[in-house]
Chain A
Amino acid sequence: MQYQLKTRQICLFLIALTPISKLFIMPSVLASNAEQDLWISALINLALDFLTVFFVLFACKRANTTLLNLLENSLGKTATKIIVSLCFVYFTIKAILPISEQKDYLEMTLYTLKPTVFYFLPFFISAFYLCTKRLKVLGRCADVLWLFTLIGFAVLLSLSISGADFSAILPVGASGYKAIFNGSYASKIWFGDGIYLAIFIGQFNYEKHSGKKILLSYLISALITLLFIFIFYGTFTSIAHRQRFAFTEISKYTTVINNLGRFDYIGIIMILFVNVFAISLPVYFSAKALNYLFCIKKEWISSLIAVAMQVFILIVFSEYYASIEKLLMNYAPPFLFLVGNLLPALTPLLTLKENKYAHTQS
């Protein structure tokens, strides 16, 4: 069996790409719901994803074939198509907010004068190009991008950590469990990374310590997210919910910046670079889902459709972004939980059935 990925690449994928899209609007969404307990809201989602990854690893360990083959063998083609359709909808929804966030970030923060939406459109060329590539290329991206993520974080966090007041998150649980739950619920769209690992079933050689390495990588990714959230709230405290693009603002109060100029942009640019890949991921997988659903043999056709859909949503609904954000945060989480957590967590059952069938056959 020829594998497209290596365990190392999956670990680096988790470290490099999963924490990035959580830095833009998500901390302020958490703060507006759970205030100083925002980290608990995030922790709940991270724990859910951790459990999903944990269960999927069982499937990875036992799988002799890819996820699609497992689904087809166990549930038949029709059920597989239904599941892949759900995944397509999931990834399409999951791509909307991060892409819009990125566009808003350019308009509001990165440029001195507000640019038009066309400044952001080249992103889709890059996303389209990535979508036409095989999973192997995604693994190779992770091999390099993790370094950018870690350096970017290190620059931003080292500049901002001294100004953060960590006592602001105390007392723990003061916002109440309802606010914490609301925070988790509203921020669900930025989580659900376990599904990526489910897609990687059968695409890498599960070796002796692969499971431990992948879990550890997910923990590192979760730790980066939590650390950022702590510093974010420690820096902005009660006005944290107004900081839409916290990661640009978080480090600018340090005295070094006053003397040397905004060299924290080195870190910001690195994170923006990785984010191009992070926000392309849902588009990438929606294109692959289209490939399967409509038996498209030419990758560029499905990639073009997936990217065109996102361009359409971005341009046509750009004026209604706030409403879309509200809609997705209020109504999408149950669906996101179903496809992003529950379905991947059930994959060990598929491998069990597959192995049982193989055993009976033998």
Chain B
Amino acid sequence: MPASVLYKHGGLFLHKNLSKINTNLMKLEQNLDANIEKIKNALNSEDVTFLDLQLANRKGVLIFINDIVDKNAVGELILRPISNIKNDLTEQELFDLFLSPEKSQINSIKEILNDVLLGNTVLIIENSNTALSFALKFFEKRAITEPPTSTVIKGPREGFVESLPVNISLMRRRLKTPDLRIENTTVGKYSRTPIALCYIKGIVDEKLVKTLKNKLSQIDIDAILDSSYLSKCLGERTVSLFKQIGNTEKPDILAGKILEGRVAIFVDGSPIALTVPYLLIEDFQSASDYYNSAYSATFARQIRLLSVFIALFLPTLFVSAELFHLQLIPLSFLLTIVNSIKGIPLSPSYEMFFTLMIFEILNEASVRMPKYVGMVVSIVGGLVLGETAVTAGIISAPTLMIIALSGICLYTVPELEQTFSILRMIFLVVAGTCGIYGLIISVSFIFIYLISFESYGSPIFAPFSPLVKEDLKDTFYKGFLHEHQFRPNSIKNKNKRRLKISKIKK
């Protein structure tokens, strides 16, 4: 039996196995006290409110969790109409009485528990097998701000927040089409985190949506506290140094990705939306590339490529040249290096390795430290430590310069920073022990790994391998608008055309 089975209810896919709650699947009884007793047993928590009401001659109980419902709305939309009831009403009349836009009729204890935990308000009435559920949830949420991970000079500055409905509204604002489909589900045995799949019907490959839904239904985890948890669960390889699922914090980028045939996954409580399938080249593409001219976008992408190359290979090539291949270094430069390393107690590989380690420590500390201390860390770490280390003869000036340059270069592609800093460390160890041939072998190993890697049917090294000529115009070369008439072929999608150039000319 699968870990969890989904069944549809009121627009939500609900988990059947709800740990402790799962034991009580029975239908509502006519006896109000018995029903309340069962619910109280299951929801034995002080923040759950059971509000006794009188609906003409019948008793009722309103159940909600204190801090996650909009109490004003409860008063206006539920309590006020109830106070006006003079005669006994049927279930349907009662249902029609309430003006809440999101309401449903439910008839099992399990559904009641589900709804209450999701932030809904449930009304149970005496002598009735049906309860009424109102979606009046209210969570404190952050304002929409520019995400710190992807700032732009030109272009939209909105970023996703931790609220799922807000994030979906940001998408709806950009894609006003009935084909934009949202499918909800919950994942997490204890967290029961609401998750939304978002795609455009008619563009997306239906098989991809089906595979994703199937994979989501099979996730059996205590809690999804952030989209990164889900990203790890959805990855096709259990162990991987590289990202397997794309992500973004910006609605404009996400809209662009959805329009290419990807599926977005929102996780409630996370400002980062996931995208599937993922291609490695995505992380070299910045939102500003699409708002600036094609020339500057192309130039920026070439710079990013060069920077990644420098970040990964400059320290390693320098060490291997110093240790094993002196012929690679021009004589005059070699003399400069010799003078600078005179008296340095460490071998070139140790020197580079320790300098890199110090850089990584400073990097980690600056992220973790409070902002007001961060400046001190930068000054003490970057300037004082570096300068003193060179003056004291512990490390050489070229090594310090190379590490500084390599460190800065890596941040031109922030999404891959973590992966590449690990790779840089591995390459450095290999270059320090085996020289340039070791480095070539390591790169070839990574290369084979990447080209055999597929993310939901799309090779992540596409459009380079397999070579998709049509898609190369959005890689290290950014084509002009008229060159992007079709959706990328590297991703399976339908309805290939996305732009008719004749219309633009008019």
Closest to B438 in A: A122
Q: Are B459 and A140 in contact (CB under 8 A)?
A: yes
User: Is A260 engaged at the interface, CB distance under 8 Å to the other chain?
Assistant: yes
Contact of B466 among A110, A119, A139 (CB under 8 A): A139
Q: Are A141 and B328 in contact (CB under 8 A)?
A: no
Q: Type the 1/0 row for A243-265, where 1 means its CB is closer than 8 Å to any CB of B.
A: 00000000000000001111001
Q: Are A126 and B434 in contact (CB under 8 A)?
A: no
Contact of A143 among B442, B449, B465 (CB under 8 A): B465
Contact of B325 among A9, A110, A130, A259 (CB under 8 A): A110
Q: Are B451 and A137 in contact (CB under 8 A)?
A: yes
Q: Are A112 and B465 in contact (CB under 8 A)?
A: no
Q: Type the 1/0 row for B167-203, where 1 means its CB is closer than 8 Å to any CB of A.
A: 0000000000000000000000000000000000000
B64 CB to nearest chain A CB (Å): 56
Q: Are A140 and B451 in contact (CB under 8 A)?
A: yes
**In the complex, which residues of chain B have a beta carbon less than 8 angstroms from the beta carbon of A119?**
434-435, 437-438
Q: How far is the CA of A276 from the CA of B330 in the complex (A)?
A: 27
Supposing A110-B436, A140-B465 touch, asked if A277 and B444 sit within 8 A by C-beta, the answer is yes
Within 8 A of A (CB), among B327-342: 327-331, 333
Q: How far is the CA of A326 from the CA of B448 in the complex (A)?
A: 34
Supposing A112-B326, A261-B333, A262-B327 touch, asked if A140 and B444 sit within 8 A by C-beta, the answer is no
Q: How far is the CA of A179 from the CA of B254 in the complex (A)?
A: 68
Q: How far is the CA of A130 from the CA of B451 in the complex (A)?
A: 11
User: Is B441 engaged at the interface, CB distance under 8 Å to the other chain?
Assistant: yes
A203 CB to nearest chain B CB (Å): 14
**In the complex, which residues of chain B have a beta carbon less than 8 angstroms from the beta carbon of A122?**
430, 434, 437-438, 441-442
Q: How far is the CA of A183 from the CA of B225 in the complex (A)?
A: 70
Q: How far is the CA of A272 from the CA of B437 in the complex (A)?
A: 8
B350 CB to nearest chain A CB (Å): 18
B48 CB to nearest chain A CB (Å): 55
Q: Are A133 and B467 in contact (CB under 8 A)?
A: no
Q: Are B445 and A125 in contact (CB under 8 A)?
A: yes
Within 8 A of A (CB), among B311-354: 324-331, 333
B329, B333, B430, B434 — which one has the most chain A CB atoms within 10 A of its CB? B434
Q: Are B452 and A137 in contact (CB under 8 A)?
A: yes
Number of interface residues of B (CB under 8 A): 32
Within 8 A of A (CB), among B75-127: none
User: Is A54 engaged at the interface, CB distance under 8 Å to the other chain?
Assistant: no
**In the complex, which residues of chain A have a beta carbon less than 8 angstroms from the beta carbon of B442?**
122
Q: Are B440 and A261 in contact (CB under 8 A)?
A: no
User: Is B290 engaged at the interface, CB distance under 8 Å to the other chain?
Assistant: no
User: Is B447 engaged at the interface, CB distance under 8 Å to the other chain?
Assistant: yes
Within 8 A of A (CB), among B410-453: 430, 434-438, 440-445, 447-449, 451-452
**In the complex, which residues of chain A have a beta carbon less than 8 angstroms from the beta carbon of B465?**
140-141, 143-144
User: Is B464 engaged at the interface, CB distance under 8 Å to the other chain?
Assistant: yes
Q: Are A6 and B466 in contact (CB under 8 A)?
A: yes
Q: How far is the CA of A265 from the CA of B326 in the complex (A)?
A: 12
Supposing A125-B445, A137-B451 touch, asked if A273 and B329 sit within 8 A by C-beta, the answer is no
Contact of B330 among A120, A261, A272 (CB under 8 A): A261
Contact of B328 among A133, A134, A140, A262 (CB under 8 A): A262
User: Is A292 engaged at the interface, CB distance under 8 Å to the other chain?
Assistant: no
Q: Are A111 and B325 in contact (CB under 8 A)?
A: yes
Q: Are A123 and B441 in contact (CB under 8 A)?
A: yes
Q: How far is the CA of A305 from the CA of B166 in the complex (A)?
A: 57
**In the complex, which residues of chain B have a beta carbon less than 8 angstroms from the beta carbon of A129?**
445, 448-449
Q: How far is the CA of A141 from the CA of B325 in the complex (A)?
A: 28
**In the complex, which residues of chain B have a beta carbon less than 8 angstroms from the beta carbon of A82?**
none
Q: Are B444 and A276 in contact (CB under 8 A)?
A: yes
**In the complex, which residues of chain A have a beta carbon less than 8 angstroms from the beta carbon of B324?**
110-113, 115
B310 CB to nearest chain A CB (Å): 14
Closest to A130 in B: B448
Q: Type the 1/0 row for A11-42, where 1 means its CB is closer than 8 Å to any CB of B.
A: 01000000000000000000000000000000
Contact of B440 among A112, A144, A269 (CB under 8 A): A269
Closest to A113 in B: B324
Q: Are B331 and A276 in contact (CB under 8 A)?
A: no
Q: Are A112 and B327 in contact (CB under 8 A)?
A: yes
User: Is B461 engaged at the interface, CB distance under 8 Å to the other chain?
Assistant: yes
User: Is A61 engaged at the interface, CB distance under 8 Å to the other chain?
Assistant: no
Supposing A130-B448, A261-B330, A261-B333 touch, asked if A143 and B440 sit within 8 A by C-beta, the answer is no
**In the complex, which residues of chain A have a beta carbon less than 8 angstroms from the beta carbon of B331?**
261
Closest to A277 in B: B444
**In the complex, which residues of chain A have a beta carbon less than 8 angstroms from the beta carbon of B466?**
6, 9, 139-140, 143
Q: How far is the CA of A126 from the CA of B430 in the complex (A)?
A: 14
User: Is A8 engaged at the interface, CB distance under 8 Å to the other chain?
Assistant: yes
B318 CB to nearest chain A CB (Å): 13
**In the complex, which residues of chain A have a beta carbon less than 8 angstroms from the beta carbon of B467?**
8-9, 12, 143-144
A135 CB to nearest chain B CB (Å): 11
**In the complex, which residues of chain B have a beta carbon less than 8 angstroms from the beta carbon of A151?**
none
Closest to A248 in B: B327
**In the complex, which residues of chain B have a beta carbon less than 8 angstroms from the beta carbon of A134?**
452
**In the complex, which residues of chain A have a beta carbon less than 8 angstroms from the beta carbon of B330?**
259-261
**In the complex, which residues of chain A have a beta carbon less than 8 angstroms from the beta carbon of B447?**
141, 144
Within 8 A of A (CB), among B246-305: none
Some 8 contacts from A to B, beta carbons below 8 A apart, are A111-B435, A115-B324, A115-B435, A129-B448, A141-B465, A144-B464, A272-B437, A273-B440
List residues of chain B with CB under 8 Å of any chain A CB: 324-331, 333, 430, 434-438, 440-445, 447-449, 451-452, 459, 461, 464-467
Top 7 A-B pairs, shortest CB-CB distance: A261-B330, A143-B467, A140-B465, A143-B465, A140-B451, A122-B441, A276-B444
